[in-house]
Amino acid sequence: MRYFAALFVLLVSTFGASSANAQAQSQKPTQKPSAKTPATGTQSDEVPSPVSKHYPILVIAHGNEPVWTLRLGMKGPERLDRANYPPIVLEPAAITNDDSGNSWTYNAKDVATNATVGVKLTREVCTDGTSETKYTFRVELTHSQLGVLRGCGQSSPEQFPEFRKKNQIDAPDAVATDEKDKDKDKDKDKKTVLEPITKFASPTAIAYLDASGRVIVAHGEVKKTAAPAGSEPSLSHDGKKLLYTRSDSKTGPERSIVQFDWDTGQSHDVAKGNNRQPFWSPDDSRVAFLKFNDQKWEIWTFPTGSPDKATEFSQINVSALHGWTSPTTLLATDNDNAYWIGEDGKPTQTIPLKEIYGEPYEIMGSDTIRVNPVNPDLLLISVFYKTAPTGAPVDAMGLNATCYLYEVRSKRSVTLCPPDAFSRAGEWSRDSLQVFFTRGVTGKGPLVTNRIFWDGSGLRRYVAGSDLVVGK
């Protein structure tokens, strides 16, 4: 078994060019001798041996600054992984090589965005700068949205399931035993090259609104009712304190921010008047919220445990607050722009919403933006489509809602929530690998919370209720 595996690697990665030349020579037609042989002169011209068309496959390439990994399979590039981003599935295309036979260019497409991808492999000694290991190939990957990534590559056939099956390295029960199973494997390979996400941390403290509108806090299997009604829940990172807003008027906009304590089961008001969207800072030392002041919505903060010391954070007139991007920076939006606002109350970065939303989505004040807990460049955005997808459920306005991922630096945008659903209020898990969102149309059946992994896999029902937030 090991013999066949080793032979396969040698044929593909080391002796590909030699075998191609030998084959070309063996297939070269025998020339018919000329009728007259010249007494003197040069030897008749020979047809030059063709350059090898064999190319390296089953290669794992990687690079640093930023950290990335590429899988180059039987047909070419199939998946690009980057630290703290979801994997990118690639669709291989044409492959070309240079005249020397030592350099190959693999073309591909980013399946999610249709961005063009090119991977150049050059057979030369390569080191990655982090170890003394010498790799076989120098690699340059060009993605039309992400830019250029440089690194090294090595033939690693044992890391590819198609090679393991071909050489019967896996256990017998892991190999297709009949034609039907083989067909299923082929279909599966076409659909995805993603590996199942198994190392994730399920939340142990959550809060949500149940079917009757009650505010529920759950630690594992233990549940407590924080309030008979409320909205905009925000759970501290230790899961012990919940903030939510309570309507104080049947006819007016007045809302108070209320804090519920898990240990005591008691609630108390922390901000009265007209307030919205409270958020805990990353270390739970402060609370930020929107306060209607001087005929505009401003960002205010107060130290945890001292709501009477609330102060103005920024005078910028915004329409929505979306949380902390760092211990000192808050993300907010108005009708036109997204603002990253620092401690001085001024934007450190401003991006037009049209740039973030693109053509498919409608800009609305009820949209939510959530920053990935481990990667501030990655945003989860819950929005409405301008035109509802065919067959998708719609609300009373004829609109459909979804969620998508957006990378601030590269501007890469990928729809995440399922196309046949009405999806709102997307929230990250603390491990950044999971997204929880409300599924269903208000007034058209019960609302539920679904869970989906950040690569679009693992969709399942999570809990009966809506507007779920994660503590820990």
The angle formed by the CA atoms of residues 351, 355 and 359, to the nearest 5 degrees, is 155
Of 35-39, 59-63, 115-119, where does mean pLDDT reach its minimum?
35-39
Give how far the C-alpha of residue 356 lies from the chain's centroid of Cα atoms, to the nearest Å: 16
Query: With contact defined as beta carbons under 8 Å apart, do 324 and 279 qualify?
Result: yes
What residue type is 13 in one-letter code? S
- Write the DSSP symbol of residue 12: I
Of 69-73, 162-166, 237-241, 422-426, where does mean pLDDT reach its minimum?
162-166
pLDDT in tens, 361-378: 999 999 999 999 999 999
Tracing tokens 């064999």 back to the chain, one arrives at 54
User: Can you give the pTM of this predicted structure?
Assistant: 0.84
| Residue of higher predicted confidence among 224 and 184 | 224
Tracing tokens 């190319």 back to the chain, one arrives at 55
pLDDT in tens, 96-152: 988 888 999 999 999 999 999 999 999 999 998 888 899 999 999 999 999 999 999
Query: What DSSP string runs through 185-223?
Result: HHHHHHH--PPP-------SEEEEE-TT--EEEEETTEE
| pLDDT band per the 50, 70, 90 thresholds, residue 168 | low
Q: What are phi and psi of 257, to 5 degrees?
A: -95, 130
* Confidence at residue 37, expressed as pLDDT on a 0 to 100 scale: 43
| pLDDT band per the 50, 70, 90 thresholds, residue 20 | very low
Instruction: Report the pLDDT averaged over residues 235-241.
Output: 97
Give how far the C-alpha of residue 437 lies from the chain's centroid of Cα atoms, to the nearest Å: 15
Question: Which segments of 191-319 are extended strands (E)?
Answer: 205-209, 215-219, 222-227, 231-235, 241-247, 255-261, 267-271, 275-280, 286-293, 296-303, 311-314
CA gyration radius, the chain = 29
Query: With contact defined as beta carbons under 8 Å apart, do 166 and 8 qualify?
Result: yes
* Confidence at residue 15, expressed as pLDDT on a 0 to 100 scale: 37
| Residue of higher predicted confidence among 176 and 268 | 268
pLDDT in tens, 411-444: 999 999 999 999 999 999 999 999 999 999 999 9
* Confidence at residue 172, expressed as pLDDT on a 0 to 100 scale: 47
| Residue of higher predicted confidence among 28 and 370 | 370
Instruction: Report the pLDDT averaged over residues 356-362.
Output: 95
* Confidence at residue 145, expressed as pLDDT on a 0 to 100 scale: 98
Domain ranges of the chain: 50-191, 197-226+358-472, 230-352
Tokens for 287?
């609370």
* Confidence at residue 53, expressed as pLDDT on a 0 to 100 scale: 58
* Confidence at residue 28, expressed as pLDDT on a 0 to 100 scale: 43
Query: With contact defined as beta carbons under 8 Å apart, do 121 and 138 qualify?
Result: yes
As a whole number of angstroms, the distance between CA 470 and CA 418 comes to 21
Tokens for 225?
């009712």
Of 81-90, 177-186, 333-342, 385-394, where does mean pLDDT reach its minimum?
177-186
As a whole number of angstroms, the distance between CA 269 and CA 13 comes to 69
Average pLDDT, the chain: 87
Tokens for 216?
């529920």
- Write the DSSP symbol of residue 157: G
pLDDT higher than threshold 70 for residue 52: no
Query: What DSSP string runs through 404-431?
Result: EEEETTT--EEE-S-TTS-EEEEEE-TT
* Confidence at residue 165, expressed as pLDDT on a 0 to 100 scale: 63
pLDDT higher than threshold 50 for residue 50: no
How do beta strands 231-235 and 329-333 pair?
Answer: unpaired
- Tell which CATH classification among 3.30.230.10, 3.30.70.270, 3.90.1150.10, 2.120.10.30 matches the domain 230-352: 2.120.10.30
* Confidence at residue 163, expressed as pLDDT on a 0 to 100 scale: 67
Q: pLDDT over 70 for what percent of the chain? A: 82
The angle formed by the CA atoms of residues 183, 189 and 190, to the nearest 5 degrees, is 95
